[in-house]
Amino acid sequence: MPAPVSRAIHEHLELEARMGATSTHALAPGAAVALAALLGAVRPSDRFLGIGGSSFDVGDGLSPAVGARLGAFVERVADRIGEAG
């Protein structure tokens, strides 16, 4: 794992600890996958599929932009599962 990635994860977790939080939920997807790899929880064949969000307030539903793309995202996930066998 490149040092800048592991350093960025470490700095993020240190910042959260100073703020009284210890969650990795705020990690960017790439950083979360890199952390999993550092912990040995990612295999070379693993793939990440994600859908971005813009608001994570409690009680909010899907944004219109995400809702409009959700069907295509579900199809893509199903395709990847089919490819994996």
Walking along the chain (85 residues) 10 residues at a time, the average pLDDT comes out as 62 68 68 78 79 73 85 91 80
Q: Give the per-residue pLDDT at 1.
A: 44
Half-sphere exposure of 29 (CA within 13 A, CB side): 7
Q: What is the pLDDT of residue 72?
A: 92
| 58 CB burial (10 A radius; 0-12, 13-18, 19+) | exposed
**pLDDT score recorded for residue 34:** 77
**What residues contact residue 55 under an 8 Å CB cut-off, 6+ apart?**
63
